[in-house]
Chain A
Amino acid sequence: MSVNERLMADGSWSVSLVPEVPSSIIAQSRLGNAMFVTPAELPPSMQTLSSLLASSRYTGVLTEQKERDFSGFGLLWYLGNSQQGAVINATSGWQDLTFDFRDWVRELMDLGAATLVVEPCPYTEGTIYDFDATTYEMRISGQLRRPFLDRICQMYHGMYQVRADNTFHAGRQEDLFASATKEVIILPKGGVRDISLAGLRALEMKRGWDVGSQPTGWFSVGAGEGTSATIDYTPTSISPYNDLLGQDVVRAKIVNAPDAVNTAEAAAVGVGELLKDLFTTGSLDVSTDTHDIGRFLTPGDIIYVYDPRQGLFDADNQVRHAGEVMFPTVRMVQAVTWPIEEGMGVYIRSSTTGAVIDLTPYIEWESAPVRFELGGYRRRLVAQVENPANERRLR
């Protein structure tokens, strides 16, 4: 009934079928099959893999069924998580390798580079942007692919994305996603579409803070063991708070970076971890009744949000919209939840036979507001997958 898309995370989806659905349809809808949502119903001649990929607004994986309720995750599910997934191995024993962002990503994803022993990429190669030639030396010693990729992105302030057409892209925010100046402003009232910005009217805006677990710095433990372990300790990279004696509050986060060979790499992973947990800009949950939000927004996009009565303004950011000068904050879309509405098409494709099953006639349609979770702009480095606690530290 709804789709939850989340930046650099699996997200989720669910649909319920009407009681009249033929049992043959349910029998064919096996777990592990791909699921497609298209903006409009497709004629039978277009219900092929290539047409579905070309027109899909959302593509997911069917992983759970309860009677007539189907649910699953987004395409990133194929990439594993911090517990499961493809293991990155060196050709023999362990190996220290040095690459820049693009080469690291292509190595890890098995996209044309072949130094590492790794499982094939589950996606078609999109664009891997070569935006930073800085090289980092990392230790390959049997890590899981997904957390390794997340750490690379943290170090380079990069991001990755699998689009609905099953293409894999990596780069900076501005390479992959829309920037604030382009499209959208969310306002408490109104919803004026002017020449440069689409105004979305917020039905509800909930602003919140939680700094209880915000680190002030990091204690990053890299490769090596005992006295030879690579360590970078930076207790107060930021310290917005003082204790009652006027001293900086120190809450350094222990960061596990088994692949960091030198302190530079260990520090880079530490910075990434710090920014991941930087909550000082607060969270913001917004709902809007704008139809088919995918036209406007996808997780990773940077947008304007403006409501001075909630303190949501930035006096240094002047934007003209709808005949007034406004001072919106700049926020990154972390997640979007949107309803699967009547008029869309829903299809399942068998992972074994390739047959396409049209679920559209049997969907219990939903009509609900679109909800966004917005983070601070500086949280753009967030990788949503946790740094694995059980990942083994070698040597």
Chain B
Amino acid sequence: MTAYVIGRAQALAAPTEWGGRTWDQDGDRVRFEGHIWSTDSAAARVLRQQLLGHEGEVVPVTSVDDPTVDGFYRVLSSKVGSSARSPNMFPVSVDLERVMAYSSPQFESVLVGNTLTNALGITGKPFWSVPNAAPLTFTDPEFGYTRSVEHPAGQNTTVLMEFFTTFTVNPRWRPLPSQYYIGACLVEQEVSSGVWVPVTGLQQHQASGGLGGIRINNGLVRCRIASDGSDLALSVDHWKASSQSWNNKQYKVVSVTGGGFTVPVPVAVTIIRNDPEVVVVRSSHRITDDPSIDLYLSVRRGDRWVRGEVGGKDSWAWAVKRSTAEAATSITGGLRATSDDAGGNRYMLASATATTKDTTNGQIALPSAAATLAFGIGSEIGGSTAAAPDQATGTRNMIEQYFAAQAEYMSAIGV
């Protein structure tokens, strides 16, 4: 029952539901009370995690009971108790506060950044994305830049992709509650085979075996921290709108120093940042020679790149490669598959660091040992017939997008 949706927190499907719910309002302050009930205690616990994780955030709230309350609220506190009567029941008390112009407030993104430092002569192409359906509340001359617009389509979404000529801009938009999460980044956890649920906030229990189930997703690309035997496998899907399907490729992170090693499956996964505009997760690995290997993975709203960084206690000649050999062609800033794959796409790897490229197998590697390797995993959707902004080279291409190092922080700013 989706009687109330508070941010990402909504009852999965019957038999999970909100019971005994009340909505008490005093001016802009609201106390929502009720209980989560389910025949499946795991499903009820998912809802508990989602409610608790939103504390402190501004989230959209919608109600089937009373649509006049639909809007954006700051979650002041979120309490989920337990019941002696049933392990499947959690009493809930959530304090909310309406933000100014709650039904459609303005959000502002503070964007700062620069071209990733590189010796390749590449200039980054800064961009910003929101759902295509939401109204923007700024004009070009206001910020003194010219823009160009693309509309990449993801799963269940079309996002607006604004390309700017400058990195430091503060664009604004005014979404409806139903639009806020379209194309937004999220961290997902697999609760049962093939069933993925959003994880809110940063506090997350380890899934069975320390992984199995963490994925970052923005509707255009998603990356799962997966395994291939005892090796870590990054399972990356890119959405192809023309076929309405996810296109999967797997990658491994290795060191090519001496005998080399492959980064094994992680011991633990930690959520570092979990906002609609950016999510970052960290997986922690250990091998005998280096007990502290960290791999950071992030996606940004509207981005088709999974951006990663791997490092350890010691220096290694880090590399990222396709799990199974697939021939590639070197391009400035990375490499791209030589031929279209079965889905009609060509995978891409990028790095701002000068790398040694293995075009036979599809690998970029540091030429010598260093503390870290920052890399991108992308895809030229449409392959040899790709157009902007999907293409690997040419106007507003994927490499230029990767080389735009942008920090984005979004907040509600009222009317």
Measured CB to CB, the residues of A under 8 A from B are 190, 192, 194-196, 308-309, 313, 315-316, 318, 320, 322-327
Contact = CB atoms under 8 A, between A and B. Distances in A.
Nearest to B278: A324
A326 to B, nearest CB: 6
A195 B273 CA distance: 17
A320 B282 CA distance: 14
Given A195-B294, A315-B168, A323 B309 contact: yes
Given A323-B273, A325-B407, A195 B116 contact: no
B272 A325 contact: no
Contacts of A309: 110, 409, 411
Contact of B117 (A308, A313, A318, A326): A318
The interface centre, meaning the residue of B313, B374, B407 with most chain A CB atoms within 10 A of its CB, is: B407
Contacts of B351: none
Dominant secondary structure of chain A at its interface with chain B: loop
Interface string B358-388: 0000000000000110100000000000000
B271 to A, nearest CB: 11
Contacts of B374: 320
Nearest to A322: B272
A195 B278 contact: no
A318 B115 CA distance: 9
Nearest to A323: B296
Contacts of B312: 195
B405 A308 contact: no
B225 to A, nearest CB: 13
A190 B112 contact: no
B253 interface: no
A327 B407 contact: yes
Given A195-B372, A309-B110, A323-B281, 13 more contacts: A194-B296, A195-B292, A195-B312, A308-B407, A318-B405, A320-B372, A322-B272, A322-B273, A323-B273, A323-B282, A324-B407, A325-B405, A325-B406
A196 B371 contact: yes
Given A309-B411, A322-B272, A323-B297, A315 B113 contact: yes
Contacts of A327: 112-114, 407
B206 to A, nearest CB: 17
B112 A323 contact: no
Interface in B277-309: 278, 280-282, 292, 294, 296-298, 307, 309
B375 to A, nearest CB: 12
A54 B398 CA distance: 57
A196 B371 CA distance: 9
A307 to B, nearest CB: 9
Nearest to B313: A195
A285 B43 CA distance: 45
6 contacts: A192-B282, A322-B272, A322-B273, A323-B273, A323-B298, A324-B407
A320 B411 CA distance: 23
Interface in B164-223: 167-168
Contacts of A318: 114, 116-117, 405
A316 B311 CA distance: 23
A195 B114 contact: no
B313 A315 contact: no
Contacts of A320: 309, 372, 374
B116 A325 contact: yes
A318 B406 CA distance: 10
A393 to B, nearest CB: 50
Given A196-B371, A323-B272, A324-B278, A316 B409 contact: no
A322 B374 CA distance: 12
Nearest to A318: B117
Contacts of A315: 112-114, 167-168
Contacts of A326: 407
A325 to B, nearest CB: 4
Contacts of A196: 371
A190 B273 contact: yes
Nearest to B300: A324
A324 B280 CA distance: 8
A308 B297 contact: no
Contact of B110 (A192, A195, A308): A308
A324 B117 CA distance: 14
A322 B307 CA distance: 12
A324 B405 CA distance: 9
Contacts of B406: 325
A325 B113 contact: yes
A308 B282 contact: no
Contacts of A313: 112, 407
Contacts of B278: 324
B280 A323 contact: yes
A378 B114 CA distance: 23
Given A195-B294, A195-B313, A195-B371, A322 B114 contact: no
A253 to B, nearest CB: 34
Contacts of B411: 309
B374 to A, nearest CB: 6
A182 to B, nearest CB: 13
A304 to B, nearest CB: 13
The interface centre, meaning the residue of A192, A318, A322, A323 with most chain B CB atoms within 10 A of its CB, is: A323
Contacts of A190: 272-273
A323 B300 CA distance: 12
Nearest to A316: B114
A194 B371 CA distance: 12
Contacts of A325: 113, 116, 405-407
Interface string B103-133: 0000000101110110000000000000000
Contacts of B311: 194-195
A369 B296 CA distance: 30
B134 to A, nearest CB: 21
Contacts of A195: 292, 294, 311-313, 371-372
* Interchain residue pairs A-B with the least CB separation, the first 5: A323-B296, A325-B405, A323-B280, A313-B112, A308-B112
Contacts of B296: 194, 322-324
